[in-house]
Structure 1
Amino acid sequence: MSSKTFRNTRKIVPISQLNVCVPDLTLTFDLPGVPYFEPCFAATQYRDPVTGEPKYPNGHFTHQADGRDNDEADDDERGALLRSDDSALDDTNVWRKPLVGVVYEVTLSDYARIIATEGGGSSYIDVVVDCYPFPADFNPSDPVPSHPSTIPFRAHTLLAPARDTANACGKTGSNNGNSHLVRHPTYAQPSPRYMSLLVIGAKEHNLPDSYRTYLSSLHAYRITSRRQRLGQVLLCLLWVPSLLLVMTLARILADNRGRAPGWLAKLQRGLFGSIWWTYDVIFRKVFGDGERTAGT
């Protein structure tokens, strides 16, 4: 949503834009990034219309299970977050209202550039959803409508396919390296840099206050020990050169739809799987948590 990223970094100039809500989707932070740097990214998942929770293959949303005992988890109790009277905010840090965002009208070439800069089709799938514009007289202090009354229109968006979270919750085992990409959907925290882009973008577009309060309430991942800092440096030396090479190739070799060749998309997924395998098997045990700030 940040204009700086969208217009300056990606060089995309929208033809028009409109603030909308999307009842069929909800905001999540369950797309794995790189431990210690960008633990996770924002994504969208299909939304249960009754509970407002994101839908996952093994049922619905599962509450945080981070491996700590109950007493330790109770002591932390997620810290002091900003609160709102809006029912979309609760202690699980899940946005239960419809997805809120901005629809951009762009050229086909610009849309291909968006696909290319979002992994070339290796991370997201393109879906078409009903978008409801906010009424002309909508006040940002008003609650986000669960059942919008405006006339919808159809728009493309990128959805991160929900993976089975059973592995992440410790219910099944797998020797497949890519199984390490299955993270618990609410455990990882985005980086301060990434959260800043979302918060600034929501402010720039004057999105609903409750949504902006929700974004501001989220904890960002921060390194709190020298061990973690050392782990960050070593992980960088081990994996970042290969990652940058693959991401650069994905942009160079993208077709006119912005999609990378199938073999390269598979290589990129395998690389991320290997990064998270290294983290789960070695780095987390030796250097500490690279997904979530200690004590949050």
Structure 2
Amino acid sequence: MPERPRFHERVLAFTRAGTKKTTPCYRACSSLPRPSSERLQRSTRPDSLELAQDLPRKVTSSDTHHHDGDRDGDRPTEKKQPPEKEEQTVLYLAYGSNLSVETFRGRRGIRPLSQVNVYVPELRLTFDLPGVPYIEPCFAGTQFRTNTANKDEEGAEKEEAVAEYVDPTSSIDIEKAPLLQDQRHGQAHTQDYHKNRWHKPLIGVVYEVTLADYARIIATEGAGHGYRDVVVTCYPFPDSYRPEDPVPEHPDRDRNTTLPPFKAHTLLSPFAWNDETNRYSLLRPDPAYAQPSARYLNLIRTGAAELDFPTEYRAYLASIRPYRITTLRQRVGKGVFLTLWLPPLFVLVVLSSLLADADGRSPDWLGKVQDAVMKAMWSSYDRFFRKIFGDGERTIGDTSIHGFTIQQ
């Protein structure tokens, strides 16, 4: 499969950690104009690009753009097009690391024309896309909001009660402690580490981008095979917006808090959809188990601050606890894991760049090799590294005892 979701980011995360970054010039120009009302409303018309079927395939197979290779941070070289084609733009909803100027406009080289902050009632933020154990356990995605929200709220209430009884300085050998079991369901309890505490609409930013840049977004996010492109309804922040104002529970019902809605493309987690053509099968048994890294969380939090998101939402992001290595065994395991898997991963990244076509898409056979390597990597973690060196997805030490029994 051409460029599986976040494959390059998984590998590049090895080298980004601890790297000192300078403040690039694009930060000084981070403010963009708001899309015109006419442009937003045009997205609701049947003939708009926002409602076009299979837009990712169309733009990545068209000749409206050209990539010199999909290297992280490289800017694609665009071919000169007739004026009417140059004026075509797409509205794209970002919600994760693409909120960050450093990521979206820096590493990925996207040059949006305008932007607007929005509420998206039909989506919720998730962290269910597998990354690399011990380094980047998971990445952000979205799913449609369903009736499982009530279950998430119940889990959040349990976790809050649990937090009052957890002693992080406990001398208990938690690496050897058995799993905690829910008395009612007889299943291993998994905390969400505050990831699922947000039960209001997803908050994101909609960028207006050219067709060439939209094709690049699709290429860097899995070339249309990892995430699923969907069209969602977005509600712009009102003109009277203040960060300290509460986020509306139902912006689709309370039209006094938002401007007229419009349509935008976004990327849905593979966990939230089923497609026979989707061969990517690295989803974890419990997608809610892993914690994102501090580096990755910082990109999202920084982006939310740059975009002046609601204080309430930023507080939620700040409350998410990142994955941390807390034991010597984990540190040793991390070193052994990187020594074993870093070379083949980097070889695949190099091959993907060298063999990429004009759209930044790798040959299908290389995608299958990437699949096989990632499956083997996670299999080695599940069968060996986790048992010997400790957890590479969740922080050891954030355990709970209140309301649960210990399996003997």
Normalised to the residue count of structure 1, the TM-score between the two structures is 0.78
Aligned pair partner of 2:316 in 214, 222, 229: 214
Match of 1:168 in 2: none
Say whether residues 1:147 and 2:147 are aligned partners. no
Shift of 1:204: 0.4
What is the identity, as a one-letter code, of the residue corresponding to 1:216? A
Q: RMSD of aligned C-alpha atoms?
A: 3.2
Match of 1:69 in 2: 180
Say whether residues 1:33 and 2:142 are aligned partners. no
Q: Distance in 1 between matches of 2:356 and 2:262?
A: 29
Residues 122 and 265, structure 1, Cα contact 8 Å, conserved in 2: no
Q: Distance in 2 between matches of 1:13 and 1:46?
A: 28
Say whether residues 1:101 and 2:101 are aligned partners. no
Shift of 1:262: 3.2
Shift of 1:117: 2.0
Aligned pair partner of 1:184 in 262, 279, 286: 286
Residues 27 and 43, structure 1, Cα contact 8 Å, conserved in 2: yes
Say whether residues 1:46 and 2:144 are aligned partners. yes
Q: Distance in 1 between matches of 2:150 and 2:236?
A: 19
What is the identity, as a one-letter code, of the residue corresponding to 2:315? T
Cα 1:270/1:96, change in 2 over 3 Å: farther
Match of 2:108 in 1: 10
Gaps of 5+ in 1: 55-60, 82-90, 165-177
Residues 247 and 310, structure 2, Cα contact 8 Å, conserved in 1: yes
Normalised to the residue count of structure 2, the TM-score between the two structures is 0.58
Match of 2:213 in 1: 110
Q: Distance in 2 between matches of 1:111 and 1:217?
A: 32
Shift of 1:287: 0.5
Shift of 1:207: 0.7
Gaps of 5+ in 2: 1-98, 160-176, 183-188, 274-279, 399-408
Residues 121 and 260, structure 1, Cα contact 8 Å, conserved in 2: no
SS of residue in 1 equivalent to 2:270: coil
Say whether residues 1:241 and 2:337 are aligned partners. no
Q: Deviations over 1:131-152 (max 9, x none)?
A: 1111111222222223212321
Q: Runs ≥4 in structure 1, deviation > 6 angstroms?
A: 76-79
Q: Distance in 1 between matches of 2:284 and 2:190?
A: 25
Match of 1:161 in 2: 270
Q: Distance in 1 between matches of 2:147 and 2:196?
A: 18
Cα 1:294/1:246, change in 2 over 3 Å: same
Q: Distance in 2 between matches of 1:257 and 1:145?
A: 40
Q: Deviations over 1:252-295 (max 9, x none)?
A: 54556554443333333332222111110000000000001112
Aligned pair partner of 1:133 in 222, 225, 236: 236
Residues 115 and 257, structure 1, Cα contact 8 Å, conserved in 2: no
SS of residue in 2 equivalent to 1:181: coil
Q: Distance in 1 between matches of 2:307 and 2:315?
A: 14
Q: Distance in 1 between matches of 2:364 and 2:190?
A: 44
SS of residue in 2 equivalent to 1:96: coil
Q: Max radius of gyration: which structure?
A: 2
Match of 2:62 in 1: none
Match of 1:294 in 2: 396
Cα 1:159/1:260, change in 2 over 3 Å: farther
Q: Distance in 1 between matches of 2:269 and 2:371?
A: 13
Cα 1:237/1:101, change in 2 over 3 Å: same
Cα 1:49/1:101, change in 2 over 3 Å: farther
Q: Deviations over 1:47-102 (max 9, x none)?
A: 12783778xxxxxx9x99x971249xxxx9979x9xxxxxxxxx674322111111
